[in-house]
Amino acid sequence: MQAAGGAPLSGEPAWPGRARRIALLVVVAAVVYVLDQVSKFLVVEFLEHEEPLTVVPGALVLTVIRNAGAAFSIGTGMTIVFTVIALGVVVAIVRTARKLRSLPWAITLGLLLGGAVGNLTDRIFRSPAPFQGHVVDFIQVFPVTRFPVFNLADSAIVCGGVLAVFLAWRGYQIDGTRQMDEPAGDHTKDHAEGHAEGEADKQAGEPAGERADG
């Protein structure tokens, strides 16, 4: 039972929905992180220093490289800068999760968090030095196009970014609400004003005698 305005009469905190969304965020992030780290371990163990492995001719090749830059080998030579940026992204996502009540945003933030932590783990723990480690990339699509080599964490970050842009474009908020182009109240007000103006114009067009008889 609820009081006016939708507030619960029992006084119980309205946070179970947020807790479920945060749990989903954590699960998605954990799945992304585990898949990323396991795949990197396997390719380093079995494919590094070996000839590239063609999975789908002309479409998918596995070749291990060490990336000192950002996703898709952008900005090599700025490893420590990207490490700090990745730490900032993780902190921002964790802080944002306090307002999380949206299922789509839980998935989006989970993808971003899992991908960011996956690459951040490489930067912190891999050679050549702590916090300056090179990220393991190994996925190459359509080699003839020379598209940059990437990893599963990069893929999760890109998917999360695309989802974030789509949700923001559609007006979906992190707190579970949706921001419309025109609030319902304004639409009702405009409709009422238009109806009133129409009635006034109609009466103005009637002869005086007819209005008096009415």
b/e burial code for range 41-77 (CB count within 10 A of at least 16 → b): eebeeeeeeeeeeeeeeeeebbbbbebbbbbebeeee
Q: Is 137 a catalytic residue?
A: yes
Q: Out of 36, 122, 154, 175, which one is annotated catalytic?
A: 154
> Is residue 134 a contact partner of residue 67, using CB atoms and an 8 Å limit?
yes
Are residues 176 and 99 in contact, defined by beta-carbon separation less than 8 angstroms? Answer: no
The one catalytic residue in 137, 181, 190, 201 is 137
Pick from 146, 155, 137, 139: which is nearest to 68 by CA? 137
First vs last Cα of the chain: how many Å apart? 49
Which residues are identified as catalytic? 137, 154
